[in-house]
Amino acid sequence: MKKQDWILVLCVVAVLTPFFIPATGFFDWFNHATASHPYIMAFFKFAILATLGEMLALRIRKGVYNEPGFGVLPRMMVWGFLGMCIAMAMVIFKSGVPVFLESVAGCERGTLAAVFASPTFSWGKLGIAFAVSVLMNSIFAPVMMTFHKCTDIHILDNGGTVRGLLRPMKMREIFATKVNWDVQWNVVIKKTIPLFWFPAHTITFILPQTFQVLFAALLGVALGLILALAGGKGK
């Protein structure tokens, strides 16, 4: 590994170490902050972790974590916004899908919601978690991933600057000529969603609430890495 890799490893260790030292109280603070300010925390978690995933993808493709025009700060801003949207979608689908399943199965209102909310693992809870994951990733994820791809192109086209990010996006031009729809559809949507995100978020939804927060945040690294590598493949 190169010097830049060791620096990254040391930074990651320094950030994660307080979580495993009870005396620091960092883990309890993190959980309290997430419960009290879920969307603000989602902004920072995804801004940091998903952008890190994109930087790792750049390291794999080109051997560096950053380059002129890459736009680390604009990417963090976009991922922070998307993180808030993801947190919102998780609340909506976790609450709504059990109600939908109850209406389809003809169950008494609240029956499946109680199973899903139970801290005890059961096959019923696993099935509901899978249904939540499938519906969220089938309805919300394609829109979110395509929007991210458009912002990614917009950042690169404007030199990776914050000012460039704030310029109006040329959505018609980006959709028509700059998005590689073969990769976006056949790789990002058709493959990563059913093969990775369906099972990944199923696991997320059956974990205790405390661990859901951490696991979803860590998945932000995978999300940034997958989307960035798919974008590199398209080029």
61-96 pLDDT tens trace = 888 899 999 999 999 999 999 999 998 999 999 999
* Cα angle for residues 222, 128, 135 (degrees, 5° grid): 55
Rounded to two decimals, the pTM is 0.88
Supply the pLDDT for residue 233. 52
List, in order, residues 6 or more apart from 78 with CB less than 8 Å away.
148, 151, 152, 155, 165
Query: Using CA of residue 15, residue 19, residue 21, residue 27, what is the dihedral sign?
Result: positive
Supply the pLDDT for residue 225. 74
| pLDDT < 70: residue spans in the chain | 19, 210, 213-214, 224, 227-235
